[in-house]
Structure 1
């Protein structure tokens, strides 16, 4: 198909934002060229393709760059209409967008804060993360995936819960993903991680532990120096 021509993805190996785009492309069966970026030493190509933020991911389709992971997911779904990520019903589409936004702006942000803080801020972020998980637990409501019987838009955006949040927990010896409190989320994680296309794109755990431990230390030092 002509639409499959010239698909490139600029990314960074450990970025959950990049990974959700990789998963979407895999689920759609779209071949693409992957270009690894050093986000701490940004290439001229990245700055040219995303001059506003200079961040990954950037999808390039027929020479046209699209930044921001959630925007990219919607673009992919609109261009390659087979195996849809978003529901066809307008209300259900809106609901999926809401929960994707919630996962990204609430749970993901709180979990990162829990990793990169101490004391009262750390405890507050843990509690906020668990409160966000409680809401997502109710939304699952016995479904295999947030998208129903198959992986969809919300699952891809919330995918960091399955593989990255446990890494955060291990680094700082905290517990957010309690299987007794979140049985639906726990089942969802198992279903999500056992999908072959998801599993084959996961970053190595030992590399994530080293990377996020280092990032945490850098951020804690920066925060201390700014006080």
Structure 2
């Protein structure tokens, strides 16, 4: 019996990309449904994620799941091949900790550093760099956060691997550099060069142009940070 697997996402969303990447790493066939997150969201998206009304939404045999980290754990439980979470309970808990640290601490700090008022920038950049330094410590000399293979934390931190560097290029604000975070930058290079990651990322030129549009809209006051 064939399984229904659908991903409701947005091409530039690092959170939707998490789900797509996990499925591709495991070789799970899926249908992708593109959403317009800046316009009219589809009735199905609102039906399947009535609480947050955002992507990604994962649909498995008619049953919806929201929130990317929750979806990743579900995928790993259902499809056992190429596990993204360790089997060891302590290692699994540690991976969950770092993924949550990234979402709860790193992402808000990074976002604030780029979009805060100018008079708050220095403090915001310092806070973001502090979070990134802590994240970098989790690599501990490994190729990936998951060891020799991409795992749960690598997928969770995908924003740093690709999106952050394209935002830096457009805004001119450099948070991650070889001088400040050599291990994190090396990880980023390894991550985006991985064959499965490379195939699933947005086209770089398209992402850069999208970033320029967002920056222009923000500077014009059309969107809020």
- CA separation of 1:90/1:183 partners in 2, compared to 1, >3 Å: closer, same or farther? same
Partner of 1:143: 142
Distance in 2 (alpha carbons) for counterparts of 1:204 and 1:224? 24
2:31 alignment partner, one of 30, 33, 57: 33
Count of matched residue pairs: 223
Query: Which TM-score applies when normalising by structure 1?
Result: 0.92
Q: What whole-Å deviation, never above 9, does each CA across 1:122-163 have from its counterpart, x for those lacking one?
A: 222221121111112211110010001110000000011011
User: What aligned pairs does 1:59-78 form with structure 2 within 5 A after superposition?
Assistant: 59-78=58-77
Report whether the alignment pairs 1:19 with 2:21. Answer: no
Q: What whole-Å deviation, never above 9, does each CA across 1:53-89 have from its counterpart, x for those lacking one?
A: 1110001000000011000000001111111111111
Distance in 1 (alpha carbons) for counterparts of 2:171 and 2:104? 22
**Contact 1:8–1:32, Cα closer than 8 Å, also in 2:** yes
Structure 2 residue ranges without an equivalent (≥5): none
- CA separation of 1:9/1:224 partners in 2, compared to 1, >3 Å: closer, same or farther? closer
Distance in 2 (alpha carbons) for counterparts of 1:224 and 1:189? 29
Deviating beyond 6 angstroms after TM superposition, the runs of 4 or more aligned structure 1 residues are none
Q: Secondary structure at the match of 1:35?
A: strand
**Contact 2:166–2:207, Cα closer than 8 Å, also in 1:** yes
Distance in 2 (alpha carbons) for counterparts of 1:195 and 1:159? 12
Report whether the alignment pairs 1:97 with 2:96. Answer: yes
Query: Which TM-score applies when normalising by structure 2?
Result: 0.93
Q: Secondary structure at the match of 2:28?
A: coil
**Contact 1:116–1:216, Cα closer than 8 Å, also in 2:** no
Partner of 1:186: 185
Distance in 1 (alpha carbons) for counterparts of 2:63 and 2:221? 37
Distance in 2 (alpha carbons) for counterparts of 1:214 and 1:27? 31
Structure 1 residue ranges without an equivalent (≥5): none
**Contact 2:18–2:158, Cα closer than 8 Å, also in 1:** yes
Which has the higher mean CA deviation after the structures are superposed, 179-188 or 89-98? 179-188
Partner of 2:214: 215
